[in-house]
Amino acid sequence: MLKADVLVLGAGIVGVAAALQIQARGREVVLVDRRGAGEETSFGNAGIIERASVFPYPFPRDLQKLAVYAVNGANEAHYRLADLPAFAPWLARYWWESAPERAEKHALAVLPLIENCLSEHEKLMAEAGALALLRKTGWLKLFRSEESFAAGRAAADKIVPFGLKTAFYAAGELRKLEPSLHGGVGAVHYLDPASISDPLALTQSYERLFEQRGGRFLRGDAKTFRPASAGYGVETEQGPLLAREAVICLGPWSDVVTAPLGYAVPMAVKRGYHMHYAAQEGAALGHPVLDADNGFLLAPMARGIRLTTGAEFAGRDTPPDYGQLDASETMARKLFPLAGRLDAEPWMGCRPCLPDMLPIIGPAPNHKGLWFDFGHQHHGLTLSAISGRLLAEMMTGATPFADPTPFRLDRF
């Protein structure tokens, strides 16, 4: 029988970062996943470490926007009609949690994590020899009308009291910064965030560091996870493993463990797609650019220009629908001289979302030694390193650097 102090189940960016942080505090840790590290949701994101995302992604409350969403007319948020009945109660809760006073409370709860998200990643990246993946250039939010640009500037002004920096560019200034972009009346430059040129390579570099420091990474299926008399067990390709404590970092699949243990976790997924493109000769992109009014993002990546889509409200396991990606591509080709597609098939991932826009980080209410670290929605890359630290501090009896109460599962 294989033994460890701690079993971390799920080797996405959240699980790998948690494993490193727990290991750094003296525990013998084993990571278990059915796939390679970082090959699911953490593979395909837009690569932004969102240091400036003080306010999460609330459900819109503006009636005009709601009317557009209702008829599936917005490219940034689609829903799959057949899945709507299953989603409706979750959406209602998300809407309720997005009321301005509640959304602000949630934003303040996660603020200490946002404030430390980049510095915590930088520490891990330095140790993993991965700093070459990091670009501290911020990102651009581009607007198509004077009206939306004014609203975008007003939204950006709200983060300045938090010590964050922004710059506003009219069309001519934007063109100087990004000469290959065509279109847009102006942009907000969020200067504090950073981005990663290859999110998979980052997770893999953290996983290598974990193994160099004596950690083990084993293949196994979370469906075999079970409480045992002296901890928690799981079947791995190397045989059964028993650990005194376990951490669930299964992202959108966390219900594989929580449901059989009797925890009703109100999680839904916002699906997203990506495709890589070559740039036409002479064209280049220096920053991630969100086309705010059209709801897609272009990010320069090691593999090419990565186009990522907004949210698709659909079941985790229902077949992909590439309509949102195709519509985004048509608009993106007018914004930037994209050449051919570089991937055989579009990629799809599922952002694991709780209705109050906060992750679950902390102890399982009814199982001693069982911990949760999942549900990081649009910010799993951003918050992974710092969530792992908060969790590791709780697990090892250190004083947590931030109040962990808002992230407990029993808040629901």
Ligand X SMILES: Cc1cc2nc3c(=O)[nH]c(=O)nc-3n(C[C@H](O)[C@H](O)[C@H](O)COP(=O)(O)OP(=O)(O)OC[C@H]3O[C@@H](n4cnc5c(N)ncnc54)[C@H](O)[C@@H]3O)c2cc1C
Give me the residues that bind ligand X (CB under 6 A), please. Answer: 10-15, 33-35, 39-42, 44-48, 50, 221-223, 249-253, 256, 272, 274, 308, 349, 351-352, 374, 376-382
Shortest spacing between CB 7 and ligand X, in angstroms: 11
Residues 6+ apart with CB under 8 A from 49: 117, 118, 121, 193, 194, 195, 196, 381, 382
Shortest spacing between CB 32 and ligand X, in angstroms: 6
Closer residue to ligand X (CB): 115 or 173: 115
Q: Are strands 304-309 and 231-236 parallel, antiparallel or unpaired?
A: unpaired
Closer residue to ligand X (CB): 98 or 382: 382
Closer residue to ligand X (CB): 53 or 282: 53
Closer residue to ligand X (CB): 130 or 146: 130
Residues 6+ apart with CB under 8 A from 241: 1, 2, 3, 4, 7, 30, 32, 218, 220, 233, 234, 235
Shortest spacing between CB 9 and ligand X, in angstroms: 6
Partners of 220 in beta bridges: 236
Closer residue to ligand X (CB): 50 or 120: 50
C-alpha 130/C-alpha 73 separation (Å) is 41
Shortest spacing between CB 373 and ligand X, in angstroms: 8
Partners of 168 in beta bridges: 188
Shortest spacing between CB 334 and ligand X, in angstroms: 21
Concatenate the DSSP letters of all residues of 126-154 into one string.
Answer: HHHT-GGGEE---EEEEESSHHHHHHHHH
Residues 6+ apart with CB under 8 A from 16: 31, 37, 38, 203, 206, 207, 210, 384
Kindly report the backbone phi and psi dihedral angles of residue 58, in degrees, each rounded to the nearest multiple of 5, phi listed first.
-80, 160
Residues 6+ apart with CB under 8 A from 136: 194
Closer residue to ligand X (CB): 18 or 187: 18
Shortest spacing between CB 324 and ligand X, in angstroms: 10
Closer residue to ligand X (CB): 171 or 201: 201
Shortest spacing between CB 250 and ligand X, in angstroms: 4
